[in-house]
A and B are shown apart, each in its own frame.
Chain A
Amino acid sequence: MQDSQPQLRQQLKELIVTTLRIEGVKPEQIGDEEHLFSPESTLGLDSLSALELLSAIEYTFKVRFENDGSARQHFESVATLAAFVASARR
């Protein structure tokens, strides 16, 4: 059975906080559309963190990001990540 988008988004937010060891931010405080790696992001993530998160997502959800340059778009926000995971799991 596939997870619903709200469930997936919540799982991803938890994964972001735990994998990247973000202190002082609860998963539910991350906005669905919030830009994850932009300088304006309140999460304080830098782009090198993407590797850790990418690896954790692949492992957790049994999906694989293509190395065709599309990963950057998937990592824009929790919403885009959830959409990718949902489509990759089909």
Chain B
Amino acid sequence: MPVPSRNALVTGGTKGIGRAVALRLAREGWRVTCVYKGDEAGRDACAQRFAEASLPVSFEKVDVSVPAEVSALFTRLADGEREPDCLVNAAGMSRDAPLAFLSVADFDAVLSANLRSTFLMCQQAVKPMARRRFGRIVNFASPAALLGNEGQAAYAAAKAGVLGLTRTLAREVARMGITVNAVSPGLVKTEMTAHLSPEQVEKLVRRTPLQRMGTPEEVAGMVRMLCADDASYITGQCFSIDGGLS
């Protein structure tokens, strides 16, 4: 059932899973704002997808790991009456390397893009949600956080941090009608996995009981469910959408 006049904010919303989530929520009647860091071509392609579906969308160019930029974003959203009822933190990135070769700079960059950004966005988004005594936050974890994954020490640590943040925030804001959950997508066909060789994909698929890659739309379906009014008694949870991997 459509949800009228509610605002959704999706970080990493112009590409991959974030874009699929944004499109799905827009189809459900949410007023969607997609946040992107700087890829204008990605933004344009996303805008095209929304236009083809005759769905409205707004864009905000923000580095969500920078406190001042996040703060300014929420000021603009308040001025435009677009403060989020629902926040989906899909922005993230990975720089994989075995521990011996993982630079401190890359470790910090991965934690910043995945964990610091999620913290900053949540910290601002809960304010309007607390006033309205309604809110939905969906963060992005990873099977790497749950199981570990060779070559992903930084990414796994960041996503494990996201899980801890999710569970703690869920407890802190539950009394205000705000739910905070996480999804943990497995191997999903997106720009983020496009660099994998066919051999690497095949190896990963072999470890996946459903024996195939997932689609962004399959993850978006779960996110959409967690954002719905019906999900009012679900909080502090992590849902794996990984073909049975974990």
In the complex, the answer to whether B71 meets A55 with C-beta atoms within 8 Å is no
CB distance from B207 to the nearest CB of A (A): 40
Instruction: Tell me whether A59 and B126 are in contact in the complex, defined as CB-CB below 8 angstroms, given that A48-B175, A52-B176, A64-B71 are known contacts.
Output: no
In the complex, the answer to whether B75 meets A51 with C-beta atoms within 8 Å is no
Q: In the complex, what residues of A have CB within 8 A of residue B176's CB?
A: 51-52
Instruction: Tell me whether A59 and B123 are in contact in the complex, defined as CB-CB below 8 angstroms, given that A51-B173, A52-B176, A67-B67 are known contacts.
Output: no
Q: Mark A41-60, 1 if CB is under 8 A from B, else 0.
A: 00000001001101110110
In the complex, the answer to whether B130 meets A51 with C-beta atoms within 8 Å is yes
CA–CA, A52 to B133, complex, Å?
9
In the complex, the answer to whether B71 meets A59 with C-beta atoms within 8 Å is no
CA–CA, A28 to B53, complex, Å?
56
In the complex, the answer to whether B75 meets A64 with C-beta atoms within 8 Å is yes
Question: Which of chain B's residues 93-130 have a Cβ closer than 8 Å to chain A?
Answer: 120, 123, 126-128, 130
Residue ID in chain B nearest A62 by CB atoms? B78
* Chain A residue total in the interface (Cβ 8 A): 10
Q: In the complex, what residues of B have CB within 8 A of residue A52's CB?
A: 130-131, 176
Output the residue of B120, B123, B131, B175 with the most chain A CB within 10 A: B131
CB distance from B246 to the nearest CB of A (A): 31
* Chain B residue total in the interface (Cβ 8 A): 14
CB distance from B115 to the nearest CB of A (A): 15
CB distance from A43 to the nearest CB of B (A): 16
Q: In the complex, what residues of A have CB within 8 A of residue B202's CB?
A: none
Q: In the complex, what residues of B have CB within 8 A of residue A55's CB?
A: 126-128, 130-131
CB distance from A57 to the nearest CB of B (A): 10
B172 within 8 A of A: yes
CB distance from B236 to the nearest CB of A (A): 15
In the complex, the answer to whether B131 meets A56 with C-beta atoms within 8 Å is yes
Residue ID in chain A nearest B171 by CB atoms? A48
In the complex, the answer to whether A58 meets B127 with C-beta atoms within 8 Å is yes
CA–CA, A58 to B130, complex, Å?
12
CA–CA, A54 to B127, complex, Å?
8
CB distance from A71 to the nearest CB of B (A): 11
CB distance from A69 to the nearest CB of B (A): 12
Query: Please, could you name 12 A-B residue pairs with CB atoms under 8 Å apart, sorted by A?
Result: A48-B172, A48-B175, A51-B127, A51-B130, A51-B176, A52-B131, A54-B127, A55-B126, A55-B130, A58-B127, A64-B71, A64-B75
Since A51-B127, A51-B130, A64-B75 are in contact, a sample of 7 more A-B pairs with Cβ atoms closer than 8 Å, ordered by chain A residue number, is A48-B175, A51-B126, A52-B131, A54-B127, A55-B127, A55-B130, A59-B127
Chain A interface (Cβ within 8 Å of chain B)? 48, 51-52, 54-56, 58-59, 64, 67
Q: What 10 A-B pairs have minimum CB-CB distances, sorted nearest first? A: A55-B127, A55-B130, A52-B130, A55-B131, A51-B130, A48-B172, A59-B131, A67-B67, A67-B123, A51-B126
Chain B interface (Cβ within 8 Å of chain A)? 67, 71, 75, 120, 123, 126-128, 130-131, 172-173, 175-176
